[in-house]
């Protein structure tokens, strides 16, 4: 077992690339040639709320990661919402309308077969930890052995279950993943979505945010993505070279940006605001002029979620200058910077800046 301990996802990406370059082995897979760690990898984030990736070579789509995270927390499984941000997401749907393994849907709606049985695992775990902070049985399930085992399809859950426990008044979270694409998954979508869940859960329970551990049984990267990224970033002597000297900027550690709290109201009010935001997002089909916000109790939605959605809608309407200007309205410094940088890269016509990112 390899352990990668990092402050945030920006560090983890560099350490993960180094690990695969030194200890990875090339293998065949159903989706093409991959380089895979010879053993499982555990990534520990000491600052999981520093979830935004700023790497220019990686070129992560912050709009997609942010809004898919809220889509998950709302328990959704429709393709249309996420495909608006990355069209390729539709390729993972077996019926063209829904995503079979959508994590958020499984958190809130999938499990529970008896009449009247509450399927919302998140609410149950919050209540358990509120009543008994020492509980060690809080398992959030995503893998359905009855339906997923040996299932044929494009969308079988990669992340299988999540453990929550409280230690020293901090919520610790461990995510288990059977098959983890390091670049698009572990240090892309997963780092955002799971840490968003982590932060919301900690706030709901009423404790501080602890460490986030991601256990990746198959830790790998696909050749066509890995090789160009590795060549551009290069192999780093992480322990001898500081980020400013390498030219690779980690905005959090340089104190250029700070995270914005996702939750500042009681959890029960926050989920109502989340429902309102997702309703608006779908109702107006992402039209920028309609996504005004300002009517939610939690500032996170008014000052972060709505401006992010509005900015991307301008981008989709080919009003990129207005999209960039709108990023100034995003009160979360990290998301504002990442969204602005991503949009500015799209003012340059380069093949590497196509919106192809998609992972489950």
**Could you report the per-residue pLDDT of 50-101, keeping only the tens digit for each?**
999 999 999 999 999 999 999 999 999 999 999 999 999 999 999 999 999 9
Round to whole Å and give the CA distance between 202 and 189.
Answer: 20
Whether residue 303 is contained in a domain is answered as no
Whether residue 327 is contained in a domain is answered as no
Helix axes 267-283, 62-73, angle to 10 degrees: 120
Q: Which residues pair with 24 in a beta bridge?
A: 37
The answer to whether the beta carbons of residues 269 and 296 sit under 8 Å apart is: no
Q: How far apart are the first and last CA of the chain?
A: 24
Please tell me the predicted confidence (pLDDT) of residue 284: 86
DSSP H helical ranges for 42-120: 62-73, 79-83, 103-105
Q: Give the pLDDT confidence of 268-321 residue by residue, as tens digits.
A: 999 999 999 999 999 887 787 788 888 999 999 999 999 999 999 999 999 999
Round to whole Å and give the CA distance between 111 and 104.
Answer: 12
Round to whole Å and give the CA distance between 69 and 88.
Answer: 17
Round to whole Å and give the CA distance between 77 and 79.
Answer: 7
Number of domains in the chain: 1
Whether residue 265 is contained in a domain is answered as no
* 139 Cβ neighbours under 8 A, 6+ residues apart: 161, 162, 163
Mean pLDDT score, 243-255: 65
pLDDT band for position 116 (cuts 50, 70, 90): low
Q: Are strands 170-181 and 208-222 parallel, antiparallel or unpaired?
A: parallel
Whether residue 231 is contained in a domain is answered as yes
Round to whole Å and give the CA distance between 154 and 175.
Answer: 22
Note down the domain range covering 152: 2-256
Q: Which residues pair with 141 in a beta bridge?
A: 161
Whether residue 44 is contained in a domain is answered as yes
pLDDT score of 357 more than 90: no
> In this structure, which long-range contacts are made by residues 78-85, counting pairs with CB atoms below 8 Å and at least 24 apart in sequence?
80/282, 81/278, 81/281, 81/282, 84/286, 84/316, 85/61, 85/312, 85/355
Whether residue 60 is contained in a domain is answered as yes
Please tell me the predicted confidence (pLDDT) of residue 248: 53
pTM of this prediction?
0.94
Residue 56: helix, strand or coil by DSSP?
coil
* 181 Cβ neighbours under 8 A, 6+ residues apart: 188, 220, 221, 222, 359
Secondary structure element (H or E) that encloses residue 310, with its range: helix 306-316
Whether residue 10 is contained in a domain is answered as yes
The answer to whether the beta carbons of residues 313 and 333 sit under 8 Å apart is: no
Round to whole Å and give the CA distance between 232 and 188.
Answer: 18
Whether residue 74 is contained in a domain is answered as yes
CATH number at residue 202: 3.30.572.10
């Amino acid at each position: 077992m390899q352990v990668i301990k990092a402050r945030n996802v920006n560090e983890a990406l560099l350490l993960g690339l180094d690990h695969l370059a030194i200890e990875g082995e090339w293998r065949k897979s159903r989706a093409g040639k991959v380089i895979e760690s010879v053993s499982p990898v555990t990534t520990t984030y000491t600052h999981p709320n520093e979830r935004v990736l700023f790497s220019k070579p990686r070129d992560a789509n912050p709009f997609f990661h942010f809004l898919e995270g809220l889509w998950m927390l709302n328990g959704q499984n429709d393709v249309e919402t996420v495909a608006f941000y990355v069209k390729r997401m539709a390729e993972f749907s077996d019926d063209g309308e829904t995503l079979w393994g959508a994590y958020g849907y499984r958190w809130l709606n999938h499990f529970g077969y008896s009449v009247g049985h509450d399927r919302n695992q998140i609410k149950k775990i919050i209540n358990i930890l509120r009543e008994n902070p020492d509980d060690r049985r809080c398992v959030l399930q995503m893998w359905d052995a009855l339906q997923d085992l040996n299932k044929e399809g494009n969308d079988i859950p990669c992340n299988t279950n999540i453990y929550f426990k409280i230690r020293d008044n901090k919520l610790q979270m461990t995510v288990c993943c059977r098959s983890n694409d390091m670049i698009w998954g572990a240090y892309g979508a997963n780092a955002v979505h799971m840490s968003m869940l982590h932060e919301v859960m900690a706030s709901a329970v009423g404790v501080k945010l602890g460490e986030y551990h991601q256990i990746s049984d198959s830790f790998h990267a696909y050749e066509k993505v890995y090789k160009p990224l590795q060549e551009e970033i290069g192999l780093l002597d992480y322990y001898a070279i500081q980020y400013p000297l390498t030219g690779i900027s980690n905005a959090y550690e340089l104190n250029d940006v700070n995270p914005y709290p996702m939750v500042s109201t009681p959890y029960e009010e926050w989920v109502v605001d989340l429902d309102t935001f997702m309703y608006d997002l779908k109702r107006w089909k992402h039209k920028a002029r309609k996504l005004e916000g300002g009517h939610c109790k939690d500032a996170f939605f008014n000052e972060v979620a709505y401006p992010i959605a509005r900015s991307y809608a301008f981008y989709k309407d080919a009003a990129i200058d207005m999209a960039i200007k709108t990023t100034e309205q995003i009160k979360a410094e990290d998301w504002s910077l990442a969204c602005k940088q991503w949009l500015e890269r799209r003012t340059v016509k380069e093949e590497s800046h196509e919106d192809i990112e998609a992972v489950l």
